[in-house]
Chain A
Amino acid sequence: MEDNQAQKFDVIVVGAGPAGVAAAVTAARGGARVLLVERSEIAGTKNMIGGAVFLSALKQIFPDSWEQAPIERYINKHTWSLLTDNSSVDISCDFPQNPKSASIFRSKFDSWLVECAKEEGVYFAPSTLVKKLIKKNGFFCGIETELERIEASVIILADGVNSLLARQYGLRYDYETKDTVLSIKETIKLSKELIEERFNIDKGSKNGAARNFLGGLKLENAPFALGFLYTYTDSISLGLGVNLEDLNRYKLNPSDLLEKLKEHPVVKPLIQDGEMLEYSAHLIPEGGYKKLPKLCENGVMLVGDAAGFVNAIHFEGTNFAFMSGKMAGETALLSLKIKDYSKKTLKIYEKKLKQSFILKDLKSYQNVMENLYSRTDSLMSYYPKKAAEFFEIFSGANCVPKRDEFRKLMVNFVKDRSIRELLKDIWAFVSSVFGVLK
């Protein structure tokens, strides 16, 4: 920032996560004078991720240097498990030659992103908390930190899920509890050898695995929750995302829930003899398309989590962050070129989002989470139980005629609850699939 009296930048980006960095480098590459501010001393140390970033988006932002990113393992193997209190039915896929994501620690990864941005000419201001935005004649045109005022033509808000600034200036309503997931996790130290053994990973390779767990929390009224596990080089993460409304409704503490998952007979052996390295928590905005904020106003744009860009079904968030950041950066460049920072010009950002997978996916998935959430009991308890019963017969060799066993299973499938519940499940499934495909 030198001693430039005017302290005026072309673009100020608030928040140095994937969205903020993508916006900042994109603008800097086009010749803009960009300031990237971050409230933490070291980028990424306020952030938490379940485990992995998507490589396709990373490659698009850093096509030449992405391989130098501090990744832990390439996640090539995904397993989804339906858990009952004491069993697991799994489905798994493995692409050992073509991993799509990589596990990372945010402190290392985000710091690397920032270093890349600095190399490309972005001015970086760590330990800088933005308290207010400067607004003149209906245009956002700067930031007010704890210490100073800094002006810019365009402001990009990449300040994450809580985006206090977006709420402060009416760009966004607050999320409701039902649209918010609290994700907590523990990073657990395990030797490389144990990780390779437990997750069937090629010895000495950089490959890794991710697991997801539905159900298995040993609760009468199970909340809508999904367990996750990612492998790092010599540690793993085990965590749980729980709907906030359900935590409220059933008066549950998230950490207690995670303890239940850790005690599950299928999960316990995976983390056995591990040593907890770090506990962390973060919110996920899952309101999606229906809860989109104002994506731009005169002089300002919202990107990444601050804009609520998450597709929870596919765990997509970092890719939305990178790509929305890029689009906002491109739009900022365009507005600088024609010296028009009005909403009318910045709407190009919205147009880009609409033409891309970001708003297309958010739109087509807009009812999916609601549909699933409305069927919580089916997902968290009924189907895991029925799947377990099926495989107990299928692989049980119980010395009972199979016909009797299967018939009983089918009769119970219909009789265990009212047929209306089944119809509701089918409706939720069909409407979700139809919504995505139509």
Chain B
Amino acid sequence: MSEENIKKNTIEDKLTTIKYNCDSESHLVLNKELCKNCESRCCTYICPAKVYTYDEDNNIINVDYENCLECGACRIACPLDAIDWQYPRAGCGVIYKQS
């Protein structure tokens, strides 16, 4: 991200405006074997909440499911169909108030 962007609102900043009721377990489960061989890793840039980050050293994708906005973009975009995408348990997850 360029210097110019640092002054702007980052996704991390934006996520602080949202209320969540965090589930204790992830509603997003990756098929790690498939992810290892993924070339595009589009989940890492397509997600509006940057839920997915690539850990280069271990060649794995980390999932910060707590930040998920439950939009479903990653599920549709994943070229390998490697995301088991469920809704968080009832009452859990994002709670929009002014959207």
| A interface residues, Cβ below 8 angstroms from B | 39-42, 44-49, 105-107, 126-129, 145-146, 161-162, 164, 174-177, 180, 182, 184-187, 235, 237, 244, 247-248, 251-256, 259, 262-263, 276-283
User: Which one of A145, A164, A187, A237 contacts B86 once the chains associate, using CB atoms below 8 Å?
Assistant: A164
Please tell me if the beta carbons of B15 and A279 are within 8 angstroms of each other in the complex.
Answer: yes
Give the Cβ gap from A225 to chain B, nearest Cβ, in Å: 13
CB nearest neighbor in B for A263 = B8
User: In whole angstroms, how far apart are the Cα atoms of A279 and B68 in the complex?
Assistant: 12
Given the complex, which residues of A lie within 8 Å of B17, measured CB to CB? 276-279
* Given A254-B46, A256-B5: A48 touches B99 (CB 8 Å cut-off): yes
Please tell me if the beta carbons of A279 and B87 are within 8 angstroms of each other in the complex.
Answer: no
In the complex, the 3 A-B pairs of residues with the closest C-beta atoms, listed nearest first: A279-B14, A280-B99, A129-B90
User: In whole angstroms, how far apart are the Cα atoms of A237 and B96 in the complex?
Assistant: 14
A selection of 22 A-B contacts at a CB cut-off of 8 Å is A39-B90, A39-B91, A46-B70, A47-B99, A105-B97, A146-B89, A182-B46, A182-B73, A187-B98, A247-B42, A247-B77, A253-B11, A253-B47, A253-B48, A254-B48, A255-B14, A276-B14, A276-B17, A278-B18, A278-B99, A281-B48, A282-B71
| Secondary structure class of chain A's binding surface, majority of residues | mixed
Please tell me if the beta carbons of B48 and A182 are within 8 angstroms of each other in the complex.
Answer: yes
Please tell me if the beta carbons of A177 and B77 are within 8 angstroms of each other in the complex.
Answer: yes
* Given A244-B46, A253-B46: A281 touches B98 (CB 8 Å cut-off): no
Give the Cβ gap from A388 to chain B, nearest Cβ, in Å: 24
Categorize the interface residue count of chain B.
Answer: 35 or more
| B interface residues, Cβ below 8 angstroms from A | 5, 8-9, 11, 13-15, 17-18, 21, 40, 42, 45-50, 69-73, 75-77, 85-87, 89-91, 93-99
Please tell me if the beta carbons of A283 and B76 are within 8 angstroms of each other in the complex.
Answer: yes
User: In whole angstroms, how far apart are the Cα atoms of A145 and B9 in the complex?
Assistant: 39
Please tell me if the beta carbons of A283 and B45 are within 8 angstroms of each other in the complex.
Answer: no
Given the complex, which residues of A lie within 8 Å of B46, measured CB to CB? 182, 244, 247-248, 252-254
CB nearest neighbor in A for B72 = A162
Please tell me if the beta carbons of A45 and B90 are within 8 angstroms of each other in the complex.
Answer: no
Please tell me if the beta carbons of B69 and A281 are within 8 angstroms of each other in the complex.
Answer: yes
Sample of 11 further A-B pairs with CB below 8 A, known A146-B89, A164-B86, A185-B99:
A41-B90, A46-B70, A106-B99, A107-B97, A126-B91, A127-B91, A237-B99, A278-B97, A280-B96, A281-B69, A283-B73
Given the complex, which residues of B lie within 8 Å of A106, measured CB to CB? 96, 99
User: In whole angstroms, how far apart are the Cα atoms of A162 and B77 in the complex?
Assistant: 13
